[in-house]
Amino acid sequence: MNTKTLRTMLKSTVTAFLHDRTGTLGDIVIYRQASAGGGNGSQVFNVAASATVINAGEPVVMVAGSSTVVQGATNLLALASPYVPFSVTGTGLVGVAQTTSTNTASAAGVVEVTPCASNVVYLITANNSANVNTQAKYDALVGSRVLIDLTAGAYTLLTSDSALNGCIIRPLNVFKFPGKIAFSFVDGISALM
């Protein structure tokens, strides 16, 4: 098998994976990193005993002063003021889970998290696909500061702009990724900094 054939097969597999995600293992995937040579690494965090596990691909937050992390809630990253890591709810973004947490209802566990960075572009489903169903509509949203929504167990991205929102919509070809939005986190949003 030659290199060109292998690249074509890999591209088809990745594209199929991105289009066929069901949300059962989280909803956020890395679309593009700043360099081809490496990513942001990952860190292991403690998760308290809870019936709620953090799935791979879900945002992970830390309550101010806590030693454990939890799954991100709805309207994630509504900031108290621009570029301040802890939001109006007192939680700060740690990153996106790379593994499913090992906690149970009766035992604490751990989760591996890729720390958030503004140079990483993520891919997520639009909360309202009608807002991004043409390239012109999508392009008009690029640069908007938006929120991550959690409804019925699925993370999506809202499209209403506000200076106090912690995600920024990035360029994307909507014909290759229908119903999806590329986004990054604003600089300085990480609770780890």
Assess whether 101 and 122 both reside in one domain.
no
Residue 4 inside a domain? The answer is no
**To the nearest whole number, what is the mean pLDDT of the chain?**
79
Residue 65 inside a domain? The answer is yes
Residue 174 inside a domain? The answer is yes
Assess whether 134 and 71 both reside in one domain.
no
Assess whether 123 and 33 both reside in one domain.
yes
Residue 165 inside a domain? The answer is yes
Tokens 């991004």 appear where? 132
**pLDDT(37) > 60:** no
Residue 129 inside a domain? The answer is yes
Assess whether 89 and 152 both reside in one domain.
no
**pLDDT(1) > 70:** no
Assess whether 142 and 102 both reside in one domain.
no
Overall domain count for the chain: 2
- Residue 24's pLDDT is 43
Residue 134 inside a domain? The answer is yes
Beta-strand ranges (E) seen in 16-159 are 29-32, 43-47, 59-63, 69-71, 91-97, 109-115, 121-125, 145-146, 148-151, 154-157
Structure tokens at 81: 């003021």
Q: Select from 115, 148, 175 the last residue of a domain.
A: 115
pLDDT digits (tens, 9 = 90+) for 129-170: 999 999 999 999 999 999 989 888 889 999 999 888 888 999
Contacts of 43 (CB under 8 A, 6+ apart): 95, 112, 113, 115
Q: Select from 64, 98, 115 the last residue of a domain.
A: 115
Question: Where does 35-165 have alpha helices with state H?
Answer: 135-141
Check: CB of residue 97 under 8 Å from CB of residue 49. Answer: no
pLDDT digits (tens, 9 = 90+) for 82-128: 555 555 556 678 889 999 999 999 999 999 998 887 788 999 999 99
Assess whether 66 and 91 both reside in one domain.
yes
Assess whether 31 and 55 both reside in one domain.
no
Residue 5 inside a domain? The answer is no
Give residue 94's domain range.
Answer: 43-115
CA dihedral 56, 59, 62, 68 (to 10 degrees): -10
- Residue 47's pLDDT is 94
Q: Select from 79, 98, 115 the last residue of a domain.
A: 115
Assess whether 103 and 122 both reside in one domain.
no
Assess whether 51 and 92 both reside in one domain.
yes
Assess whether 47 and 110 both reside in one domain.
yes
Residue 9 inside a domain? The answer is no
